[in-house]
Amino acid sequence: MSRIAIVILNWNGEALLEQFLPSVTKFSIGADIYVADNASTDNSIAFIKEQYPDIRIIQNDINGGFAKGYNDALKFVDAEILCLLNSDVEVSQNWLQPILKTFEELPDAAIIQPKILDYKNKDYFEYAGAAGGFIDQLGYPFCRGRIFQALEKDEHQYDDIKEIFWATGACMFIKNKVFQELGGFDEDYFAHQEEVDLCWRAKNKGYKVYYVGTSHVYHLGGSTLSNMNPKKTYLNFRNSLFSITKNLPRKKAFPIIFFRLLLDGVAGLRFIFQLKFKHCWAILRAHLSFYRQFGKMYKKREKSNFLKKYYAARSIVWSHFVYQVRKFNTLVKN
């Protein structure tokens, strides 16, 4: 068994592989590198075989999205630590060493993410993960360095090592035995927020999730679905409700779901006023899908050991849109 394996999920991403694989191969000495291909129809596999013969290829039979794609592929990876890396990430020199050192020094660390900066504007944090993920009391995810669309400039304010609630799937390190114990990602999510659910389940079992700011990578973002794609709106709204149903005790889950449905309705009206009718329809479809699958999600709940304190803010929506909070450090003071 190797110490660490980097696994890049690919679907028709030849151009991304050509752009971002050079940094991964250059700065990941000692790690096994895999590309897990989700039944691509472009020239991805041929490109890897020709240009990077040392990279190991895992070919999935179908495009099962992020969740199933990784679940299927990681069955064939024998390593102590798995790095799940998006194909649109540029890594930096010595990016692995701080992560491995943290795993060694903090035995309770099961999942770790590095600092995620914007590939297009490298002085700023990137939307997907930034400086570590948290959720509010209603289950809305947010990050240090990013609250909704407000991105902070990286002024080394988050160069620490800190326990967080969830780590981004754009660059997530997880102990293989923990991933297997958790049963991997929930494939009903398909994509988006499956990492929030995975980390929540891990924390319910007593594991800890950390952010290591002394390691950083640059994420392009939006290469599969942009932030303003209605399908992403659909998946985010639905999957967030899935996570609440699965990971909170019943007394907390039911009232929170009720309030979330109301707030989602407000978000839908906001989209209408913005003339973004497809996004409003995406929220409605998300709710319909949630209703259909509620029983299935409820059966997946952990039987015990729900976290007593899971949130870092009462309401990120209220703080951001009413009090105009744009930075994490301002948020925690309110």
- List, for residues 245-293, the tens digit of each pLDDT value: 999 999 999 999 999 999 999 999 999 999 999 999 999 999 999 999 9
pLDDT digits (tens, 9 = 90+) for 155-200: 999 999 999 999 999 999 999 999 999 999 999 999 899 999 999 9
Tens-place pLDDT, residues 31-74: 999 999 999 999 999 999 999 999 999 999 999 999 999 999 99
Which domains does the chain carry?
2-219 (3.90.550.10), 230-331 (no CATH)
Torsion sign, CA atoms 127, 331, 308, 115: positive
pLDDT of residue 168: 98
Give the type of residue at 104. Answer: E
CA-CA-CA-CA torsion sign (268, 188, 248, 74): negative
Report percent pLDDT > 90 for the chain: 89
- Mapped onto helix, strand or coil, the DSSP state of residue 239 is helix
Tokens of 211: 């952010």
Listed residue (104, 218, 240) closest to 166, CA to CA: 240
pLDDT at site 332: 65
State residue 227's pLDDT score.
Answer: 61
pTM confidence score:
0.94
**Residue 106 exposed, middle or buried by CB count within 10 Å (0-12, 13-18, 19+):** middle
Helix, strand, or coil (residue 283):
helix
Q: Would you place residue 75 in the very low, low, confident or very high pLDDT band (cuts 50, 70, 90)?
A: very high
How many Cβ atoms are within 10 Å of 241's Cβ, its own excluded?
A: 26
Average pLDDT of the residues in 203-218: 97
Region of 182 on the Ramachandran plot (φ > 0 left; ψ -120 to 50 alpha; else beta): alpha
What is the structure's pLDDT at 244?
97
Which pLDDT score, from 0 to 100, does residue 334 have? Answer: 45
User: How many CB atoms neighbour CB 166 within 10 A?
Assistant: 26
pLDDT for 92-115, tens place per residue?
Answer: 999 999 999 999 999 999 999 999
